[in-house]
A and B are shown apart, each in its own frame.
Chain A
Amino acid sequence: MLEQIISLFKVLLGQTGIGHLWWGNVLMIGIGTVMVFLAIVKRYEPFLLLGIGFACIVVNIPGSDLILPGGLFHYAHQGVALLIVPPLIFLGVGAMTDFGPMIASPKLVLLGAGAHLGIFVALILAKVIGFSITEAGAIGIIGGADGPMAIFVTMKLAPHLLPQISVAAYSYMALMPLIQPPVMRLLTTKAERQISMGKIREVSRLEKVLFPIVIASLVNLFFPPVAPLVTMLMLGNLLRESLVVGHLAETAGGSVLAIMTLILTTAIGSTMRAETFLTVQTLQIVGLGLVAFVFGTGSGVVTAKIMNLFLKEKINPLIGSAGIASVPIAARVSHIVAHQENPKNYLIYHAMGPNLAGVFGTAISGGILLALLGVK
């Protein structure tokens, strides 16, 4: 009788996940918990970390079937894998973004290309380590500091690396206030950091309306591989700048963006299963991502310093690092570092120009990468 009861309990226990728990699950649950802690207690990028951390905890509980067909995380992941979510995120971002600073300072768009050296340093290093050329391309794009673009390019080049690349990209974007300032200070003098910049011209409504139409047309003409993302970014921006569909612009930049962020973060978190995530490859990708961010920040600052050799009216080189993208975090970092040097210096509007150009810089680099590697 007792033996029967014990064996029944054993069967019951076998049907739960407890028997399948291993140290990898415990470690990943710990990582997820730290993310949730940082989001709630430290208020550290809660929009990203809360969903990622929660999903990471849940999928590492043995027996959890939310990632299987029928489970909600599975469908969230499908939205990312089928490249539905990233363009809709871009729609919302476009509806929230004023491209005025970029339109007003055409020369600063160069920083949007200059701050992307990190992509190529990481790409070459990834190849040296032993990744294939397509995997190296996907790893390199982490340096574009643009989450949806990183996901988009990875799904085209190396979909099996999505968990590592998306986690690395979003984690480093959240950590930019820690990563960028030391690099920025190392490459600039105190006098350079104190440079004040003149007032930016006002951009007319007509320019703001024409901008998304012109850019969407050019991107579709020259960069079809990344057109789905940039087109939606421009559509969102047209909704905003046209002033005639305020409700649509508010919905795209509000509810749509919130829902897509929820789906995206849970989808990313749900890919962080111990079985696939705890590998040497993950450590290599995370390391290469950091290299990409450091070099991108540095090359942006150096590009600004090179531009100063030719400009009559000098620019503050700190805005160069904002060219890495990651809107608006990188622009905010430029502003804060400059503000610490000179409390009367307000660089945020100036830094937004290269910051927004960085989005196009990443899209262009990603588009060329896909085209050269023969991926559509």
Chain B
Amino acid sequence: MITIPDSITGAVILSIIDFLLSFFIITGIGVILAVLPVVNRIWKIDEAKLRRGGH
């Protein structure tokens, strides 16, 4: 397994990878959220029914 060296270079490498990867992954979450409204065309939840059946 490749490990991050315990040095300033290691800290910089770790930071760059983490920062860029965070952007990439959060963009992925954004894409999922953008397509989420599609589910409304397939199915609809009756909120009133849910509230009545609760507790």
Q: A residues touching B (Cβ–Cβ < 8 Å)?
A: 102-103, 106-107, 109-110, 112-114, 116-117, 119-120, 123-124, 126-128, 132-133, 136-137, 140, 204-207, 209-211, 214-215, 218, 222, 242-247, 357, 360-361, 364-365, 368-369, 372-374
Q: Could you list 19 examples of A-B contacts with CB < 8 Å?
A: A102-B33, A103-B33, A106-B34, A109-B33, A113-B19, A132-B6, A133-B5, A137-B14, A204-B45, A206-B44, A206-B45, A244-B54, A245-B55, A246-B54, A247-B55, A364-B21, A368-B17, A368-B21, A372-B4
Are the C-beta atoms of B45 and A133 separated by less than 8 Å?
no
Q: Is the interface of B mostly helix, strand, loop or mixed?
A: helix
Are the C-beta atoms of A207 and B30 separated by less than 8 Å?
no
Q: How many residues of B contact A (CB 8 A)?
A: 41
Partner of A243, one of B3, B7, B33, B51: B51
Are the C-beta atoms of B32 and A206 separated by less than 8 Å?
no
Chain B residues closer than 8 Å to A133, beta-carbon distance:
4-7, 10-11, 14
Are the C-beta atoms of A372 and B39 separated by less than 8 Å?
no
Are the C-beta atoms of B19 and A117 separated by less than 8 Å?
yes
Are the C-beta atoms of A365 and B18 separated by less than 8 Å?
yes
Residue of A whose beta carbon sits closest to that of B46: A205
Question: CB-defined interface of B32-51 with A at 8 Å, one 1/0 digit per residue?
Answer: 11101101100111010011
Are the C-beta atoms of B30 and A107 separated by less than 8 Å?
yes
Taken together as a complex, chains A and B put the C-alpha atoms of A369 and B11 apart, in Å, by 11
The 3 closest A-B pairs by CB, nearest first: A120-B15, A127-B11, A106-B33
Are the C-beta atoms of B40 and A207 separated by less than 8 Å?
yes
Partner of B26, one of A137, A246, A364: A364
**Contacts A109-B30, A123-B11, A214-B32; is A206 near B39 (CB within 8 Å)?**
yes
Are the C-beta atoms of A106 and B4 separated by less than 8 Å?
no
Are the C-beta atoms of A361 and B26 separated by less than 8 Å?
yes
With most chain A CB atoms within 10 A of its CB, the pick from B25, B27, B44, B50 is: B25
**Contacts A206-B44, A207-B40, A374-B1; is A244 near B50 (CB within 8 Å)?**
yes
Chain A residues closer than 8 Å to B37, beta-carbon distance:
204, 207
